[in-house]
């Protein structure tokens, strides 16, 4: 058995062990509860603990069922949020695209900022987000003379319904189009991506000529769970559950920054994102351009171990890393953003100075 298959087998078995363990424990708790019905516990506090432990899962179920039938005002039903109605709807709408409004969110449009030098920076946003998350950093770079091209990944900037019918090849092609556009006016191109945009940036750098890469919280290996779901079951699970709602706390920084990102993840898209990570990991050893890697201490989506994974595999002669100690995954909006912006500019400026110095040395020779 190959190493890849052994790892896959081990991961699948681990997920099943967790599931079977939880199932067995639920039966044990239930039988304890039945026992205490016939042989009551004299200690009131102990009895309350037993009943609460056994009944809490049922309480969660009834709360879910109540919300399914009687949603609170201003919210949507669990059925509409979770089950595959959106995916089916998307495919039917694709048969007659003229019948549905797929207008782009105004703030989500891709943008271009013309610079004063031949240096360009391609900006790639993250999963379920849009170019608006790159606007502030793009303006900082443009003020330093860089031409900035912020791409919009296919399936983003409209509705999550559109995201369910795209794949990582579509997203990569969106990045390629931005790269081709920028290369027409800039002789020096750097690429910067956040989250999944960072993964796409690394894949582009492995297969195209770029002068520098800046990776912000890019996922390459997320371990065994995705928001509590075992990763091995995601492909099958996504056939029945199309969307996974995001917590309000995860959207807080986006809302404060005025970025209209999707408020739910497309699970078929998440499966595609894991395929993207696998393909990118295989190509990392092709990367030779200077690399700046940023991670975040409180990033519960992308572990800091992804920094060392990336640092060890690439062949870049210059690799710099930075850990944002006060931030979570959304580093473009969080407490360390100013320091990150400064470090990004300093990294690019140092490369520019080195290139200019080499040109002068070449002329003198």
The 10s digit of each residue's pLDDT in 288-337 is: 999 999 999 999 889 999 999 999 999 999 999 999 999 999 999 999 99
Helices (H) and strands (E) in the chain, counts: 13, 11
Please say if the pLDDT value at position 101 is more than 80. no
Does residue 55 surpass a pLDDT of 70? Answer: no
pLDDT tens for each residue of 193-233: 999 999 999 999 999 999 999 999 999 988 765 665 666 66
Pairwise CA distance, residues 141 & 188, whole Å: 14
Q: Which of the listed CATH numbers 3.40.50.1820, 3.20.20.70, 3.60.15.10, 3.90.1310.10 matches domain 106-361?
A: 3.40.50.1820
Residue 164 pLDDT: 83
Say how many C-beta atoms besides its own lie within 10 A of residue 128's C-beta: 24
Are 272 and 302 in contact by the 8 Å Cβ rule? The answer is: no
Show me where the domains of the chain are located.
3-70, 106-361
Tell me how far apart the alpha carbons of residues 336 and 324 are, in angstroms, rounded to a whole number: 6
Considering the chain, what is the average pLDDT of its residues? Answer: 79
């Amino acid at each position: 058995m190959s190493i890849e298959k052994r790892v896959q087998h081990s991961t699948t078995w681990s997920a099943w062990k967790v599931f079977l363990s939880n199932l067995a424990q639920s039966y044990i708790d239930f039988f304890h509860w039945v026992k205490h019905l016939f042989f009551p516990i004299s200690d009131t506090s102990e009895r309350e603990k037993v009943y609460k432990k056994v009944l809490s899962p049922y309480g969660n179920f009834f709360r879910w069922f109540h919300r399914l039938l009687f949603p609170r005002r201003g919210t949507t039903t669990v059925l509409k949020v979770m089950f595959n109605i959106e995916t089916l709807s998307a495919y039917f709408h694709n048969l007659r695209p003229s019948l549905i409004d797929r207008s782009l969110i105004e703030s989500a449009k891709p943008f271009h900022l013309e610079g004063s030098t031949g240096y360009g920076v391609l900006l790639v946003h993250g999963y379920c987000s849009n170019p608006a998350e790159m606007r502030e950093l793009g303006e900082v770079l443009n003020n330093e003379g860089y031409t900035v091209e912020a791409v919009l990944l296919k399936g983003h900037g409209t509705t999550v319904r559109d995201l369910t019918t795209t794949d990582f090849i579509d997203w990569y092609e969106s990045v390629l189009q931005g790269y081709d556009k920028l290369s027409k006016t800039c002789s020096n191109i750097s690429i910067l991506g956040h989250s999944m945009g960072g993964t796409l940036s690394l894949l582009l750098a492995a297969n195209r000529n770029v002068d520098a890469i800046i990776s912000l919280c890019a996922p390459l290996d997320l371990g065994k769970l995705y928001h509590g779901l075992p990763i091995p079951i995601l492909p099958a699970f996504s056939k029945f559950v199309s969307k996974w709602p995001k917590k309000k706390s995860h959207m807080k920084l986006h809302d404060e920054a005025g970025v209209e990102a999707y408020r739910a993840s497309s699970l078929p898209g998440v499966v595609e994102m894991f395929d993207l990570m696998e393909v990118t990991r295989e190509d990392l050893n092709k990367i030779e351009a200077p690399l700046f890697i940023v991670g975040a201490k409180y990033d519960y989506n992308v572990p800091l171990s992804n920094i060392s994974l990336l640092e060890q595999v690439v062949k870049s002669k210059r690799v710099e890393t930075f850990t944002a100690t006060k931030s979570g995954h959304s580093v473009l909006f969080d407490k360390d953003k100013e320091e990150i912006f400064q470090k990004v500019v300093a990294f690019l400026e140092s490369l520019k100075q080195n290139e200019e110095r080499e040109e002068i040395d070449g002329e003198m020779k």
